[in-house]
Amino acid sequence: MKSLGARATGLRLERMQASPLWVPQEKGGTFRNLAPIRPGLRDPAVKMPSLTDFLCGGSPRRVPTAPLPSVDPREPWQRPPASGLRATWLGHSTVLIEIDGARLLTDPVWGARASPSQLAGPKRFQPVPVALDALPPIDAVLISHDHYDHLCYPTLRALAKTGVPFITSLGVGAHLQSWGIAPERITELDWWESHRVPGTEVEVTAAPSQHFSGRGLKDRNATLWSSLVMRSARHRVFFSGDTGLTDQYAEIRARLGPFDLVMLEVGAFHPAWGDIHLGPENALEAWQLLGGGAFLPVHWGTFSLAMHAWDEPAETLLALAPTHGVQLVMPQLGQPVEPVQVDKVTPWWRTGESDKSAPAEAPAPTTLPRNMPWPID
């Protein structure tokens, strides 16, 4: 199946093997997390959800009961941001970042399903607010890791037909190249390595995250996972990719901060995998370790990736933010926002529930247990 991608070989593999994150003794070589797991992140008393749990368990509100409000961003995109920094959340972890004249697109997913197949598997709640071919010119696509809800085969096949360059983690370029993207368009980074986006003054740096990788049964951790930092002379933006809470965020702040905008994953959390996903409460602690900045939550509101209600991350953040002194930036889908212009959050997502008491149909599983056929998240 082409959507599975490809394994690294040759010079690409040699570069991976030279990384301090590489463990050659495990399964022919894999990447690893460097930081120890924080005590209490993973509850040993909680069992990993079964396939039955994913198919018909968890909250009865795992999907919205009505379409979520969204905005067509094309008209605002015609004008540059007055502050030099603007973000457009397009769903899940896909954000168009406009930073001092450059446009960067994070983890682009336009596919209908977070799955190896577009005929089966977890389905997105609704289409992306704007078609992929209606995007303005993009200076670079940033990809944090190779899970299906971040590295989308049909989206990447479409982007392969353009000239846009890609910046990603070590090893992920093998997937991109197998899907028709020329190697000269691909830059792969180890943690703390940086790359200047061609034709711009923006530098992208790969930084630590606490996660894992893989698209099939036999390639777990065969590619690297990263958070990504975008820096210009005026602005700095942090994008978490997928991660659990790690003290390495304090080092990221010291080396690459302070940040004007922090994008942290808040959805798909569960006590059984608290070491590899943040959830809203741990995201607030991660935000503190990073030194603050406007907080744009991502990785929610698009796929049902866990057992909790689809809007639980948003509601929890809204309730806890005032006690943490957090400036939340929570725009509607497709709504371009400049962080310096945001002073309050309107819970727009509540209009996506026609009747909160009415149970929604249970979705297909998305964040699968680690022994399930393919990794999604």
Give me the pLDDT at residue 214, please. 96
Give me the pLDDT at residue 358, please. 38
**Whole-number percent of the chain with pLDDT over 90:** 79
pLDDT band at 259 (very low <50, low <70, confident <90, very high): very high
Give me the pLDDT at residue 372, please. 35
Q: Is the pLDDT of residue 46 over 90?
A: no
Alpha carbon 11 to its chain's center: 28
Give me the pLDDT at residue 363, please. 37
Q: Is the pLDDT of residue 233 over 60?
A: yes
Give me the pLDDT at residue 373, please. 34
Give me the pLDDT at residue 375, please. 47
pLDDT band at 357 (very low <50, low <70, confident <90, very high): very low
b/e 40-69 (16+ beta carbons within 10 angstroms → b): ebbeeeeeebeeeebeeebbebbbbbeebe
Q: What is the mean pLDDT of the chain?
A: 91
Q: Looking at residues 346-359, what average pLDDT do you find?
A: 68
Cβ contacts of residue 343 below 8 Å, gap of 6+? none
Give me the pLDDT at residue 376, please. 56
Q: Is the pLDDT of residue 231 over 50?
A: yes
Give me the pLDDT at residue 275, please. 93
Q: Looking at residues 250-260, what average pLDDT do you find?
A: 98
d(CA 339, CA 80): 14
Q: Looking at residues 350-363, what average pLDDT do you find?
A: 51
> Which of 22-36, 135-149, 299-313, 315-329 bottoms out in mean pLDDT, i.e. has the lowest?
22-36
Q: Looking at residues 101-123, what average pLDDT do you find?
A: 90
d(CA 353, CA 64): 6
Cβ contacts of residue 174 below 8 Å, gap of 6+? 5, 6, 7, 8, 9, 12, 223
> Which of 5-19, 43-57, 106-120, 142-156 bottoms out in mean pLDDT, i.e. has the lowest?
43-57
Q: Looking at residues 152-180, what average pLDDT do you find?
A: 97
Q: Is the pLDDT of residue 156 over 50?
A: yes
Cβ contacts of residue 180 below 8 Å, gap of 6+? 157, 160, 161
Q: Is the pLDDT of residue 119 over 50?
A: yes
Q: Is the pLDDT of residue 143 over 60?
A: yes
Q: Looking at residues 120-147, what average pLDDT do you find?
A: 95
Please report how many Cα atoms fall inside a 13 Å half-sphere around the Cα of residue 316, on the Cβ side. Answer: 18
Q: Is the pLDDT of residue 269 over 70?
A: yes
Give me the pLDDT at residue 351, please. 85
The three-state DSSP-derived secondary structure of the chain is: CHHHCCCCCHHHHHHHHCCCCEECCCCCCEECCCCCCCCCCCCCCCCCCCHHHHHHCCCCCCCCCCCCCECCCHHHHCCCCCCCEEEEEEECCEEEEEECCEEEEECCCCCCECCCCCCCCCECCCCCCCCHHHCCCCCEEEECCCCCCCCCHHHHHHHCCCCCCEEEECCCHHHHHHCCCCHHHEEEECCCCEEECCCCCCEEEEECCCCCCCCCCCCCCCCCCCEEEEECCCCEEEECCCCCCCCHHHHHHHHHCCCCEEEEECCCCCHHHCCCCCHHHHHHHHHHHCCCCEEEEECCCCCCCCCCCCCHHHHHHHHHHHHHCCCECCCCECCEECHHHCCCCCCHHHHHCCCCCCCCCCCCCCCCCCCCCCCCC
Q: Is the pLDDT of residue 58 over 90?
A: no
Is the CATH number 3.60.15.10 carried by domain 2-33+47-352? yes
**Closest listed residue to residue 225, CA positions, set 252, 207, 238, 237:** 207
Q: Looking at residues 177-205, what average pLDDT do you find?
A: 98
pLDDT band at 368 (very low <50, low <70, confident <90, very high): very low
Q: What is the pTM of this model?
A: 0.93
| In the chain, domain spans | 2-33+47-352
Q: Is the pLDDT of residue 283 over 50?
A: yes
d(CA 287, CA 243): 13
**Whole-number percent of the chain with pLDDT over 70:** 92
Give me the pLDDT at residue 377, please. 60
Integer-rounded Cα Rg, in Å, for the chain is 19
Give me the pLDDT at residue 200, please. 98
Segment 18-30, tens digit of pLDDT: 999 999 987 789 9
pLDDT band at 294 (very low <50, low <70, confident <90, very high): very high
Give me the pLDDT at residue 176, please. 98
